[in-house]
Amino acid sequence: MTTRLKGRRREVARVVDAVTREANVSSEIKAVALVGSYARGAERMASDVDLVLLTSNPDALAASPWFVRLLPGAELVRSRRWGPVRERRYRLRSGLLVELGIAPVSWADLPLDAGTRRVLSDGHRVLYDEGLLSTASKLVRSGTTAR
């Protein structure tokens, strides 16, 4: 592993820790999962950090400047909506991209919709949970389907 990738992993750990700490004190954030390449342990230097945040009010959380307050210098570079998920992509001063997928708590409802199942099946690690993600996570890991 290169020195640059080790440094990038430390930075990612700092971001993940900061978001997890925020979830622990925020009444808005109900669950957080790391998804994608970092959750699978298959990251490369160019990989972004993908986080899914579940909340009762996705529009309010997506509009809030909480992430920039948490990581000063973070710049919003893209906002999109993918069905019920509000994507907010930020570039940190280092160049690291952090994608927040802000979704309603129903994102983890059973039976899982195809998009939720695909995201979780591609690799995930629950970082914070008020009980919303645990069942979905176990279901995906077991390889079973819920009807």
Residue 107 falls within a domain, yes or no? yes
Query: pLDDT at position 145, please?
Result: 61
Residue 128 falls within a domain, yes or no? yes
> Tens digits of per-residue pLDDT, 82-131?
999 999 999 999 999 999 999 999 999 999 999 999 999 999 999 999 99
Residue 34 falls within a domain, yes or no? yes
Q: What percent of the chain has pLDDT over 70?
A: 98
Query: pLDDT at position 144, please?
Result: 72
Cα–Cα distance, 79 to 86 (Å, whole number): 7
Quick check: helix, strand or coil at residue 122?
A: coil
Other beta carbons less than 10 A from residue 26's beta carbon: 17
Residue 147 falls within a domain, yes or no? no
Of the chain, the end-to-end C-alpha distance in Å amounts to 43
> Tens digits of per-residue pLDDT, 26-35?
999 999 999 9
Q: Residue 75 belongs to a domain with what CATH number?
A: 3.30.460.10
Q: Which domain holds residue 111?
A: 3-142
Q: How many domains does the chain have?
A: 1
